[in-house]
Amino acid sequence: MSSPIDETRELQARIEALVGAGDLAMAGSLGAELHPSDLADVVERLEEAAQVALLSALPAELASEALAEMEEGEERGDLLAALAPEKGAELIGELADDDAADLMGELDPPEQQKILEVLPDRTADELLGLMRYDDETAGGLMTTDLVAVEGSLTASEALAEVRRQGREVLDFYTVFVVGPDRTLLGTLRLDQLIMADPASHIESLVEEPDATVGPEEDQEEVGRLIARYNLASIAVVSPDGVLLGRITFDDVIDVIEAEQTEDILRLAGVVDEEQLRHGWAESVRTRLPWLALNLLTASAAASVILIYEDVIDQVLTLAFLAPIIAAMGGSSGTQSLAITIRRITVEGSGSARGFVLKEILIGLVIGGVLGVGIALLAVLVNGDPMLGLVVMLAMWGNQVVAGFAGAFVPATLDRMGVDPSVASSVFVHTLTDLCGFFLLLGLASKMLLGG
Amino acid sequence: MSSPIDETRELQARIEALVGAGDLAMAGSLGAELHPSDLADVVERLEEAAQVALLSALPAELASEALAEMEEGEERGDLLAALAPEKGAELIGELADDDAADLMGELDPPEQQKILEVLPDRTADELLGLMRYDDETAGGLMTTDLVAVEGSLTASEALAEVRRQGREVLDFYTVFVVGPDRTLLGTLRLDQLIMADPASHIESLVEEPDATVGPEEDQEEVGRLIARYNLASIAVVSPDGVLLGRITFDDVIDVIEAEQTEDILRLAGVVDEEQLRHGWAESVRTRLPWLALNLLTASAAASVILIYEDVIDQVLTLAFLAPIIAAMGGSSGTQSLAITIRRITVEGSGSARGFVLKEILIGLVIGGVLGVGIALLAVLVNGDPMLGLVVMLAMWGNQVVAGFAGAFVPATLDRMGVDPSVASSVFVHTLTDLCGFFLLLGLASKMLLGG
C-alpha cells in the first residue's frame, strides 16, 4: 500500500500537468479528490491565468476552500480580484464568514465593493461587520456561525435545537448556552451534551467558560488562552456579555505558528514579514533595511577602535582580541534575549526585575569562566600576563553587560508597547560591541600603556 | 465586574498564603475553584514540602490534573516521587493514560516500579504499553482512551454506543469507525454523527481520514498534519491499519509551542532545553558549553588576524574594518539561517538546491549595496580609494558566503538527520568570520602592499 502522502503528491502532479495541457475539466474532477489544503498547494504553484482557469473549473465549494487554505497575503488577494466579480462573490458566499472576511480584507476597497454589490445584502452586511475588526484581533479571527441554545431547555430539546442549527454551521465542537438576551451563560462540549440525561436542564449542566475574550483582544492572547485551557473553541463576547462569535482551535494553531515564525525571523533581523515563498527581490527588500541599520551600528561600535588606534599600534594582539570579545558578548546577549523574549511571551514582562537580575548573575559566572579562557589564550599568543588580566576583565565586564542588556532591553521595549523581538537584537549587539571594544581598549590603554 | 484573570490571580495568591500559613484544608477547598492549569501555577511556586502537602489536601481528581498541567521535567518527577507510592498511584490512576505515561516517564525506574506495584494490573499494563514509546513520537503523545464504533451500525445505534463508551473517555470530538478486527475505516466528527439521519448506516457516513500516523512518527510531523488538515484528533494506527490510539489538538498545540521555543532557543545557541523557570546555575550549565565552543571557533577565526598582523600594522584602519565585515556576515547569515530553518520545518529540505541558489543571489545583491556603503566609510576614514575597493570586495564576497552558508548548512544537516537549529548557527558564524577576515586581510595584503 502506498502511503497517503505519496498518493497526494502524485495526484497534485497530475493535476498540474493537466492544467498545463489545458485539460481543465479533467483537472477539476481530479481536484475534487484532494483535501482543500493539498489543492491549495497546486494552485499556489501555478501562474495567475492558470490559477483563474483551475478555480473556475472546480466546484465552487472546493474552489473556495482551496482559496481559503492558500497562504494569506497579496498574491491571494490578486487572484480573487482576477476572477469575475460574480465568480468571486460565489466563492466568498460559500466560505465560513471568518475565512470570507479574511479574503475580502486582502482586496483593495474598489475590488471589495465589486464583490459586495453582487453578494446578497444579508451576507454583505455580515461580512462588513467582521471586516471592521483588525486582522490580528479576536474579532478578526472569529466566525459568527455557531450553535447556541437557551439554558432553559432540557438536554433532549437542546439536542434537537443543535440538530436544527447545525445544518448551517461548519465543524462545531462546543454548544454555547445563552440567556434570552443572548448573554453567554456558559459552554457545553458536544460529548457532554450527548452523555447528559435527556430530561436534565441545560442550566444544570452548563459550565462557566474557563475563558472568554473581547473582540478587540490580541490574537496572541487568544492563542495563549486556548492552549492553556485546552479549548476546542472560545467564545468572543461583547463588554456587556453578549455572545458575538467563536474562535476554534484550528484558527489558533495557525496563529501560534505564524506568531512564532514572526518571532524567530524578527530575532534574526528579518523585521518585515518575509514569506517563505517570496522571490529574491522581495527578500532583499525585507532584509536590507535591517542590515543597513546594522552596518551603521556596527560601524559606530567599531569606531571605538579608531579612537584607540595608537593602543592597537603598540599592542597588535589587541586587533585579534577585540573581535572575540565583541562576538562573545553578542553570543551571550542573544542567548539572554531569546530566553527573555520567550519568558515575556509566556509570562508577560511583569516580573522583569527578577529575570534581569538572574541574567546579570549568569553573566557574572559565565564571564568569569570565559574570561579565564581568553586570558590564557592571550598570554599564549602575546606572553604579557598583564594583557591577560586586561582581556579577562574586558570579557567579564562585557558578559555582564550582555546578560543585563539581553534581559533589560526586551523587557523595557515590551513595557513601552514595542514588540521586543523586532528591535532588541540590534540594541543588544550594539551595546555589547561598544562595551566590548571600550572595555578592552580602555583597560589596555590604562593598564598596559599607563594612558 | 472584575475580569476572570484578576479573580484567578487573587485566588492563586490566597491559596499560596493559606499553604504558607499551614491551613491546608482551606487551601484545598479554595483550590477546587481553580482550573487545573491555574492550580499548577500555584503548585510550581511552592517548595517541595508544601507542594506535597497541598496535593495531598486536594481531591485526587484535581491534584492529578494539576500535576499533569505542571511544566514537564525533572521537578515534576521529583514531586511525584516525593509522594507516598499509594498517593502517587491514586493520582496516576485518575489521569488519562497519555498524561499518566508522561508523568511516569519522568520517574527513575525504581520509583516507577513502586507505583506500578500499587496500581491495578490492567492499568499498569496499559501504562507500560504506552511508556514503550519515545516521548517525542506519536506513540508518546497518544491516549488509548477513545470512542470507536463499528461501521455496520446505524447512526442511532452508534450514538447509543458512543453514549456507553463515552462515560470512560475524557473530551472526545471524533468518533473512530472500525471494522470487526479494529482496523480503522475512517472518522466521524461528533457533530456529523448528531446531524446524521438516525437510520443511515455509519459505513455510508464515514469519511476516509485526511491523515493518520504510525506510533513511531515524530511529534513534529503529527503537529504538521493536525495543523494542515484542521483536525480535532488524529488516529494512530499500526502498520497493518489497526487503530491504536488518538492524539487530540490540545496535545499538539503544546508540541508546536515546545518545538518552536526549542527552535528559537537553539538558533540563539541555547542547545540543551533551558526551561524558563530554571535557576541561574542550571542556566549556566545549559548555556556554557555552546559559549565555550563559540570561544574556540571565534578565536580560530580571529587568528587569521594574527597571521596578517604585519598588514594591520601598516594599515591600522583594517583593525576597525575587520569586525564590521565579520559582524555583517554574521547578521546576513543569521537571516538566511532563520528563513531556511523555517522553510525546512514547513516544506522539508527536498527543494534545498532552489533555496541555496536564492540565498546566494540575495547575498550578491545585498553584498553589493553594503559593499558600497562600507567602501565610502573606509575612504572617509582613511582616504585611500584602493582600501575602499578592498573592503568593498571583502564585504561583497562575505555576504555571498553568508547567503550560501545560511542555506546550505541547515539543509545539509537536515539531510544528515541532525536538527539544523542546533549546530547551524555556530558553523555559519565561524564560516562568515573566517571568510570575512581572510577576504579583507588577504585582499589588503595583495592589493595594498603587493604581498
ipTM score for this prediction: 0.72
| B29 half-sphere exposure, CB direction, 13 A CA radius | 3
Residues B2-20: what's their mean pLDDT?
A: 80
The better pLDDT of the pair A286, B170 is held by A286
pLDDT at A1: 36
Q: Which of A56-60, A393-397, B263-267 has the highest mean pLDDT?
A: A393-397
- Range of lowest pLDDT (A280-294, B259-273, B311-325): B259-273
* Dihedral pair phi/psi, residue A449, rounded to 5°: -110, -5
Domains of chain B and any CATH numbers? 4-136 (1.25.60.10), 148-253 (3.10.580.10), 280-447 (1.10.357.20)
Q: Which has the minimum average pLDDT: A146-155, B92-101, B313-322?
A: B92-101
What is the spatial distance between Cα B17 and Cα B289, in angstroms, rounded to a whole number?
Answer: 40
The residue of B331, B421, B427, B430 whose CB has the most chain A CBs within 10 angstroms, and thus the best one to mutate to test that interface, is B331
Residue B98 has pLDDT above 90, yes or no: no
- The pLDDT assigned to A361 comes to 94
Under DSSP, is residue A199 helix (H, G, I), strand (E, B) or coil? coil
A190, A253, A269 member nearest B191 (Cβ): A190
pLDDT at A31: 86
Q: What is the pLDDT of residue B354?
A: 82
Mutate to test the interface with A, among B280, B356, B370, B380 (most CBs of A within 10 A): B280
Cβ-defined contact of B292 to A370 (cutoff 8 Å): yes
Position A203 pLDDT exceeds 80: yes
Buried-state track B97-107, b at ≥16 Cβ within 10 A, e below 16: bbbbbbbbbbb
In this structure, are residues B280 and A365 in contact, taking their beta carbons and an 8 Å threshold? yes
pLDDT, position B2: 42
Across B312-340, average pLDDT: 91
- Which pLDDT belongs to residue A388? 95
pLDDT band at A96 (very low <50, low <70, confident <90, very high): confident
**Residues of chain B with pLDDT > 90: what percent?**
39
Rounded Cα–Cα distance for residues B212 and B217 (Å) = 10
Mean pLDDT, range B216-224, rounded to an integer = 88
Higher pLDDT, A436 or B352: A436
Give the end-to-end CA distance of chain B in Å, rounded to a whole number. Answer: 79
Per-residue pLDDT at A3 exceeds 60: no
Strands (E), A87-218: 148-150, 174-178, 184-189, 212-213
Flag whether pLDDT at A334 surpasses 70: yes
Mean pLDDT of A285-294: 87
A108 half-sphere exposure, CB direction, 13 A CA radius:
7
Burial class (CB in 10 A: 0-12, 13-18, 19+), A450: exposed
Q: Does the distance separating the beta carbons of A309 and B334 come in below 8 Å? A: no
List the single range of A132-141, A162-171, A279-288, A344-353 with lowest mean pLDDT.
A344-353
For B246, the enclosing helix (H) or strand (E) is strand B243-248
CA distance B35 to B12: 11
Strand intervals (E) in A135-278? 148-150, 174-178, 184-189, 212-213, 233-237, 243-248
What's residue B433's pLDDT? Answer: 94
Share of chain B above pLDDT 70, in %: 96
CA dihedral A120, A122, A127, A132 (to 10 degrees): 130
Cβ-proximal residues to A108 (8 Å cutoff; 6+ apart), any chain: A77, A81
Contacts of A166 in chain B (CB under 8 A): 191, 194-195
B334 → chain A, closest CA residue: A268
Across A129-133, B68-72, B259-263, B423-427, which has the greatest mean pLDDT?
A129-133
Tens-digit pLDDT profile for residues A153-174: 999 999 999 988 988 787 778 8
pLDDT of residue B271: 62
% residues pLDDT > 70 (chain A): 96
Q: CB pairs below 8 Å between A and B: how many?
A: 294
Q: What is the b/e burial string over B244-256, where b = at least 16 CB atoms within 10 angstroms of the residue's CB?
A: bbbbbbbbbbbbb
Nearest to A283 among B189, B211, B362 (CB): B362
Quote the minimal CA–CA distance from B322 to chain A in Å.
Answer: 8
Q: What is the pLDDT of residue B35?
A: 87
First CA to last CA distance, chain A: 79
Over chain B, what is the mean pLDDT?
Answer: 88
Question: Mean pLDDT lowest for which of A288-292, A400-404, B73-77, B161-165?
Answer: B73-77
Chain A residues whose beta carbon lies within 8 Å of the beta carbon of residue B300: none
Q: Which three cell numbers stand for residue A82?
A: 482576477
| Spatial strand order in the sheet of B212-213 | B212-213, B233-237, B243-248
Amino acid in the structure at residue A295: L
Distance CA A92, CA A84 (A): 12
The pTM of the full predicted model, rounded to 2 decimals, is 0.74
